[in-house]
Structure 1
Amino acid sequence: MELSKSGLWGDQGDGTYINPILPGDYSDPDVIGVGSDYYCISSTFHLSPGMIVMHSKDLVNWSSIGHVVDDITQISPKLNYDKMNHHGRGIWAGAIRFHNGKFWVYFCTPDEGFFMSTATNPEGPWEPLQHIWDVAGWDDCCPFWDDDGQGYLATTHFADNYQMHLIKMSNDGKQLLMESDVIFHQYKGSEASKLYKINELYYFFHSEIRVESGNEVRVVMMLRASSLYGPYEEKEILHTHGEELDREPNQGGLVQAPTGEWLFITHHGSCGYLEGRTLSLLPVTWMDGWPIIGEDIDGDGIGEMVWGGKKPIAGYPIVLPNQSDDFKHPKLKHHWEWSHQPRSDKWSLTERPGFLRLHACIPLEIGNFFTVCNVLTQRAMKTAKSEVIVKIDLTGMEDGQEAGICHMGTQYCTLGVCQQGSIKRLKYNDTGTCSDGPIIEGSFLWLKSSWNLDGIHTYAYSLNGEDFQDFGGQYQLNWGFYRGDRVGLYCYNEKTEKGYLDVEWFQYHYLSN
């Protein structure tokens, strides 16, 4: 019962769930359990704040609770609003662990190397980033502390034929002891490393590219040894078959429920044009000391994708991704992320309480929407029907300003108001192909974006909040920069840094199931 065919997902309200548990882009997940709580992180690339942190009580229903990196210019000035050219770079896959009473997150960036931070509360605040190794060409790192307290970092040097390394860390976890560096595995595409110690055995989880049925596919592998430095046995633990059959589950993390049951949170590597890399929850069974992810359907000792089952932990209510906002809080809600680090003097929640104010700035490159600073976005979900409606106040607009609602992937599509002189006019823009609409006389305007399972999207507008009229063409929501589609708000001025947009609310409606 795959999402793309049924539209069903997540908690079904009857003690069962259907995969994916989150039908939006949550790339490169890792998960841990601490007491009766579960925490998951996900890559955010060039978006700020960076590295989303989520919480769950039952491993099926998840809510966003914070980010590890408030200011991504701690990573590189290339991620700042005055560059806007680092799309798809920034924060790649990381890992979260709980050690010595603190939460630890380590991650790599492809250009700047390795970073880490700690927190006593996963909601934050997180300590300022520590740049523990300035290097390029590495990814997918994972910390591990052995029983004697010694810390290690497992990671992949993808620029050197995907060699997987194990490096000791200093006692405070803020330095890598490079003289200890060893290569423990290498195969085509070997990455997504996670290191566990279970029943006195060491397990190196990873994925790699192998030939199955004549095709190259990314498969899920496990190495096992009684000693950290091996020698290691190797076993495939989850078949992947590509986009048509299972959408390639691979990168993720193992976690144990209070019942003793083991489970695996994964993303689907064969991304959709709309939703990107969604999250699924798979059962794990143990066979001869090996974890088998999913269901061993044909008896070959290797798991297959499972599209649902019984919830592993009962008694908790359905939690839907909270994506609406009335902007009455002192901070933006955690599902919001800016494209690159925003310009702090160009947005406010306090200048007009109860509204988000977006001040206009001049794009770095006129006519290139990807160089507009302070574009505020969130994940678009793949559900049977999704709808976003925003209410905006145009009173503060100035000559040369344009502002409204947008979708972003490798292409973009906007519906907004463009002011020339004293005239405000509706404007539709599909990656540079524009259509002018009617003159807008009033101060308030309602804009709506609607899409379906196929990712076919249309815009509409209203002058009273009730009667909507379609405007613009159909647009295919699309994948871009390792992410699924992003829906959000924008404001800029190609002539001068004057004018602003006030957003009263942003409502996200979708069919849950």
Structure 2
Amino acid sequence: MEDHYNLLSKKGAWGDQGDGTYVNPVLPGDYSDPDVIRVGDDYYGISSTLHCSPGMAVLHSKDLVNWRMIGHVVQDLTSIGPEYNYDRMNRYGRGVWAGAIRFHKDKYWVYFFTPDEGLFMSTASDPAGPWEPLHHVWEVAGWDDCCPFWDDDGQGYLVATNFADNYNIHLFKLSDDGKELLHDSDTIIHQYKGSEANKLYKINGTYYFFHSEVRFEAGSDVRVVMMLRSKHIYGPYEEKELIHTHGKEVDREPNQGGLVQTPSGEWYFVSHQGHAGIYEGRTLHLLPVTWVDGWPIIGEDTDGDGVGEMVWGGRKPINGYPATVLSTYDDFDRADLEPYWEWNHQPRADKWSLTERPGYLRLHACQPIDKDNFFTICNVLSQRAFRTIHNEATVKIEIGGMADGQEAGLCHFAQTYCTIGVQQLNGTRVLKFNSSGTIAWGPKLTGSALWLRSVWNIDGINRFKYSVDGVHFTSFGDAYQLGWGNYRGDRIGLYSYNCESEQGYIDVDRFGYEAAGAM
């Protein structure tokens, strides 16, 4: 059965198959560094967002297979530091790294490190928000992958990796309010090459310390999921490997993630999988967990050695809930942006609006930090590009408010970028294609409305199209390979800038993204 599901996954199948089974990934997009908890019959997860704003995505599920985004923990990245602001944009690949979510004292708690600014936390009574203003617990650099834990006596702890110091893993006590580390309690509890991805649990009176580390297996260094256990929180700990890793191309290295138990007593591991270079980024996977002699086994122990193997699908944990629909349609009638939208760094607030023209997203032009450098455009609004057999994103923009020097349109970006848009020069608007500096000019545009479309397949080969009537579309520009960059998969989004002045705007009427279904 595993080979069957692996074949389905390679062909682009994902998620809920509609017959009581699922195929990995359960979300075929960049939901990196997940953690998950269950509260009652609801499952809540978080995913790192790095330099995107709002920060730290929050997701919800009823069955561990079908997920949707419901909000973010960090509304303003400048509450972390000034380098995230539109006038600096200096945190590509940094920012909000892996964190952990827990439910304690009737509140949801999220802790995370940024590699440069330190440890942050927030709480909320509703995981969809609002979240309390971000609290800076510890100003420090070189740390990551933290997890809070509250013991039966109410004492709180935090486990984290000091990757700047040989990947030593530390255990701290927390203050009663969870807002301070008691540094005199600092204890190193583990160290190995690349040891991180920390989670701490107490199950049936035993402390379980989950992490991953880099080991030499199958002829190369691979990241391996490990567990320590002890009857005492400070150890001594026993150690065990939980799932065999055979390489990035074979099983895509299940790594960061969290253990969760269903109401019926079954256990699962929610993880990201993926590696540098794949355009969809690190996708969300669900693996079964069985317990043998007090140890969890992730996946299936096919050879009886007590260590799991990758599972590419199986029976759904819970039936009766609708399948995830990746397709989105936004006509910008809401008071706020939908949760799937995220800005590249913290946007300039006075350069975008949902109220200046109700029912439209107005994107004013502003000057980039560096002229003609796409990655310094202050207000690029984007969402995840998915890996399915067919993807089509179409936006309708009104361009009557543009000014000379302004360019605006539809984009893909990661390490490189590719855009299709309109540029106004000397009062004339012209179609423009730009693939990381390779430019092609199209026809003059005389109307006030323009439709732009991006189409890509499972291989991530993108083609742009345009239309002046919304019915007949014409291909324009070369094929572009969607890519990976700054620990992120490809993003598709909207942009508007002006290298000459602060003048001009576009109105985005609607944006629709249709992705192939799971079956």
Q: What is the TM-score of this pair, normalised by structure 1? A: 0.99
Which string of whole-angstrom CA distances, capped at 9 and with x for unpartnered residues, describes residues 476-504 of structure 1?
10001110000000000111100001010
User: Residue 481 of structure 1 aligns with which residue?
Assistant: 486
Measure, in 2, the Cα distance between the counterparts of 1:184 and 1:74.
31
2:199 paired with 1:176: no
State how far apart, in whole Å, the 2-side matches of 1:157 and 1:434 are. Answer: 44
The runs of 5 or more residues in structure 1 that have no matched partner are none
Q: Could you report, residue by residue, the CA deviation over 1:157-209 in whole angstroms, capped at 9, with x for unpaired residues?
A: 00100000000000000000000000000000000000000010000000000
Show the counterpart of 2:121: 116
Partners of 1:346 and 1:284 lie apart in 2 by 48
Residue 321 of structure 1 deviates from its aligned partner by 3.0
Contact kept in structure 2, 1:242 and 1:270, CA below 8 Å: no
2:131 alignment partner AA: W
* Matches of 1:452 and 1:170, distance apart in 2: 51
- Name the CA distance, whole Å, in 1 between partners of 2:14 and 2:389: 10
Once the two structures are superposed, the pairs formed by residues 451-462 of structure 1 within 5 Å of their partners are 451-462=456-467
Aligned to 2:251: 246
Query: 1:362 maps to which residue?
Result: 367
Identify the residue that residue 21 of structure 1 maps to in structure 2.
Answer: 26
2:188 alignment partner AA? I
8 Å CA contact retained: 1:322, 1:335:
no
Residue 372 of structure 1 corresponds to: 377
* Post-superposition offset of 1:8: 0.2
1:401-416 equivalences in 2 (<5 Å): 401-416=406-421
Corresponding residue of 1:98: 103
Q: State the match for 1:185 in structure 2.
A: 190
Which position in structure 1 is the counterpart of 2:476?
A: 471
* Structure-to-structure mapping, 1:145-184, within 5 angstroms: 145-184=150-189
Measured after TM superposition, the shift of residue 4 of structure 1 is 5.7
1:67-466 equivalence runs, <5 A: 67-271=72-276, 273-321=278-326, 323-466=328-471
What is the alpha-carbon distance in structure 2 between the residues aligned to residue 241 and residue 27 of structure 1? 20
Deviations 1:113-171 (A, max 9, x none): 10000000101110111101000000000000000000000000001000000000000
Structure 1 residues 272 and 61: CA distance shift in structure 2, 3 A: farther
Taking only the aligned residue pairs, the percentage that are identical comes to 67
Provide, for residues 293-316 of structure 1, a one-character-per-residue CA deviation record: whole Å limited to 9, x for no partner: 001111111111100011101111
The AA in structure 2 aligned to 1:417 is V
The CA deviation at 1:339 is 0.3
SS in 2 for 1:160: coil
Any conservation in 2 of the 1:4–1:453 contact (CA below 8 Å)? no
Provide the C-alpha distance between the structure 1 equivalents of 2:173 and 2:372, rounded to a whole number of angstroms: 49
Q: Is the 8 A contact 2:218 2:246 kept in 1?
A: no
1:367 is displaced (CA, Å) by: 1.3
Number of matched pairs: 513
Q: Residue type matched to 1:314 in 2?
A: N
Which residue identity does 1:320 align to in structure 2? V
Partner of residue 67 from structure 2, selected from 46, 62, 66: 62
- Residues 322-379 of structure 1, C-alpha deviation per residue, up to 9 Å, x if partnerless? 5331101110000000000000000001111111000000111001000000100100
> Where do 5+ consecutive residues of structure 2 fail to align?
none
Q: What is the CA–CA distance in structure 2 between the aligned matches of 1:317 and 1:486, rounded to whole Å?
A: 26
Among 55, 58, 80, the residue aligned to 1:53 = 58
Question: Could you tell me how far apart the structure 1 residues matched to 2:294 and 2:276 are?
Answer: 32
Match of 2:33, SS? coil
SS in 2 for 1:370: helix
The one-letter code of the counterpart of 1:474 is A
Does the CA-based 8 Å contact 1:385-1:450 persist in structure 2? yes
Kindly state the Cα deviation for residue 269 of structure 1 after the two structures are TM-superposed. Answer: 3.8
Work out the CA distance in 1 between the residues paired with 2:470 and 2:9: 32
Deviation at 1:272, TM superposition (A): 5.2
Deviation at 1:397? 0.5
- The answer to whether the 8 A contact 1:43-1:93 is kept is yes
Query: Where do 1:32-47 residues align within 5 Å?
Result: 32-47=37-52
Query: What is the identity, as a one-letter code, of the residue corresponding to 2:67?
Result: W
- Alignment correspondent of 2:515: 510
TM-score of the aligned structures, taking structure 2 as reference length: 0.98
Partner-residue secondary structure (3-state), 1:249? coil
Asked if the contact 2:9–2:25 (Cα under 8 Å) also holds between the matched residues in 1, the reply is: no
Letter of the 1:336 partner, please give it.
W
Question: Which amino acid in 1 is paired with 2:64?
Answer: L
Alpha-carbon separation, structure 2, partners of 1:4 and 1:64: 22
Whole-Å separation in 1 of the counterparts to 2:431 and 2:136: 46
> 1:9 is matched with which residue?
14
Query: Considering only aligned residues, what root-mean-square deviation do their CA atoms show, in Å?
Result: 0.9
> How far did 1:270 drift?
2.1
Q: Distance in 1 between matches of 2:180 and 2:240?
A: 32
Contact (CA 8 Å) 1:273, 1:455: kept in 2 or not? no
Amino acid at match of 2:367: I
Equivalent position SS for 2:330: coil
Cα distance in structure 2, aligned partners of 1:115 and 1:12 = 38
